[in-house]
Amino acid sequence: MRKGYLLVIALIVLSFISLFVGVTSISPLDIFHLTQEQLQVLTVSRLPRLISILIAGSSISICGLIMQQLTRNKFVSPTTAGTMDSARLGVLVSLLVFPAAGMLEKMAVAFAFALAGTFIFMKILDHIKFKNTIFIPLVGLMFGNIVGSITTFFGLKYNLIQSISSWLHGDFSMVIEGRYELLYISIPAIILAYLFANRFTLAGMGEDFAVNLGLNYKRVINLGLIIVAFVSSIVILTVGTLPFLGLIVPNIVTIFRGDNIKKSIFPTAAMGAVFVLFCDILGRIIIYPYEISISLTIGVIGSGIFLYLLLGRNAHES
């Protein structure tokens, strides 16, 4: 309970700091007598950026939690199961086939490819007999690299590699009013994940156990994968890839809260938002007034945390 309060306090404090960090100088003391320029910066840039960080950070973390439960592997996430790479391939296809398509059309194509890629990964898992903790995410990374190579090949062939690269690196600096609202669509999916949290928990205990309890195992698995693919495609279209987020945050939360998704979903969302907020603020101040992209800061910090979790798990198993 105390850790939950600390997360909420950290979320409030970092959210407040995020609104006042940037090239345009705005002090908390100016909040009651803002100039027209300061008001515009807050409403058009800083507030949309904060909202997008909170939604993207929490939703991708929850997606990682769902995937780890359904695959029964703590090192599976949208970035290690080919989901994000498949979504980028979908974006490339939408640029090639529907060049004048809007964001909703691109999202639909990206979602279809992300879902197909996730189902392919799950089918690969069904045919793997040696289901080692580390081996499965390595298979996912190999599958994702194959999909990514196909995306790069066609991107180079049709001179779209620069357009695709914008979805390779997560970046909140371009988030302004009118360019982030697509993220709101992911909120109903997260609510649906909470409503089905107990069923995801049962599904994670194995097909035989779930079926004996009267659960429609295949339907629950498919619903979980649909939620993951849907949210991942929205986030990648809006802010890009957030590496390691869906991998490390659920691992940290489940250490303290256990594997019950319903009990872990809110702490996972809060910690994901706090982690992305911290990395974003760090990226804004470390070489001020310039900015480091969020994918780089999350990648550096997240890789260190991932190695710590990996080595700690191996030491425990040995």
pLDDT in tens, 296-305: 899 899 888 8
Which pTM value belongs to this model?
Answer: 0.89
Q: Is the pLDDT of residue 317 over 60?
A: no
CA distances from 2 to 31, 61, 65, 256 (A): 31, 21, 22, 12
Q: Where are the domains of the chain?
A: 2-12+38-288
The predicted-structure confidence for 216-244, as pLDDT tens digits, reads as follows: 888 998 899 999 999 988 988 888 888 88
Q: Is 57 left (phi over 0), alpha (psi -120 to 50) or beta?
A: alpha
- What's the mean pLDDT when you consider all of the chain? 85
CA distances from 318 to 251, 256, 305, 313, 315 (A): 19, 22, 20, 9, 5
Could you give the dihedral angle defined by the CA atoms of residues 298, 299, 304 and 310, in that order, rounded to the nearest 10 degrees?
110
Structure tokens at 95: 């640029």
CA gap 295, 243 in Å, rounded? 6
The predicted-structure confidence for 114-128, as pLDDT tens digits, reads as follows: 999 999 988 888 777
**What is the DSSP secondary structure assignment for residue 27, as one 8-state letter?**
-
CA nearest 242: which of 87, 71, 39? 87
CA nearest 142: which of 81, 87, 67? 81
- With contact defined as beta carbons under 8 Å apart, do 161 and 96 qualify? no
CA gap 6, 227 in Å, rounded? 29
CATH number listed for the domain at residues 2-12+38-288 = 1.10.3470.10
